[in-house]
């Protein structure tokens, strides 16, 4: 039983770091997706304004 608890105690820090890494990567991916959407919308508005000026 002591060896099982020791093994679990040894794995807890690795699991914690893995969880933090997963959360950070998830936030980065969502931020990147939102940034790409915002950039796409901005470029669409710029194209619209450009077409209005030329028309």
The Cα–Cα gap between 28 and 8 comes to 30
pLDDT of residue 55: 66
Q: Which tokens sit at 9?
A: 């105690």
Q: What is the pLDDT of residue 52?
A: 84
Query: Is 49 part of a structural domain of the chain?
Result: yes
Q: Is residue 53 part of a domain?
A: yes
On whether residue 8 sits in a domain, the answer given is: no
Tell me if 23 is assigned to some domain: yes
Give domain status of residue 2, yes or no.
no
Query: Along the 55 residues of the chain, how does pLDDT read in single tens digits?
Result: 899 999 999 999 999 999 999 999 999 999 999 999 999 999 999 999 988 887 6
Is residue 12 a part of any domain in this protein? no
Residue 6 lies in a domain: no
Domain coverage including residue 31:
17-55
Number of structural domains in the chain:
1
């Amino acid at each position: 039983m002591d060896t099982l608890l020791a093994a679990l105690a040894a794995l807890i820090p690795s699991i914690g770091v893995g969880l933090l890494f997963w959360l950070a990567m998830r936030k980065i991916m969502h931020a990147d997706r939102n940034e790409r959407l915002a950039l796409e919308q901005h470029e669409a508005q710029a194209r619209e304004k450009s077409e209005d000026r030329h028309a």
